[in-house]
Amino acid sequence: SFSEGISKTHLSLESMRSSGFTRESLSELFDGAKIVCTINLCLLFSLGS
C-alpha cells in the first residue's frame, strides 16, 4: 500500500543516515534521480508522439 511504501522509504533514509550518509551525498543522490526522471520523461514523450 501507499503508506507501506512511505514507511519503507523512511526506513531506508534512516539507515542511510545512520551509515554515515551526509546531506551532500543525499542531495547528489536526489540530483541523479531527478536527471534520470527527466530523461525517462523525455523518452516517454518522444516515443509517445
Kindly write down the DSSP assignment for every residue of 22-35, as one continuous string: -HHHHHHHHHHHHH
pLDDT the model gives residue 15 = 72
Is the model's pLDDT at 48 over the cut of 70?
yes
CA angle (36, 40, 46) in 5-degree steps: 145
Measure CA 41 to chain center: 15
Query: Dmax over Cα atoms in the chain, in whole Å?
Result: 45
pLDDT (tens digit, 9 = 90+) per residue, 14-41?
776 666 666 777 788 888 889 888 988 8
What is the reported pLDDT for 21?
A: 61
Segment 2-13, tens digit of pLDDT: 788 777 877 777
Indicate the pLDDT class of residue 49, thresholds 50, 70 and 90. low
User: H or E element: which one contains 4?
Assistant: helix 2-18
Q: Are 33 and 43 in contact (CB under 8 A)?
A: no
Domain boundaries, the chain: 22-49
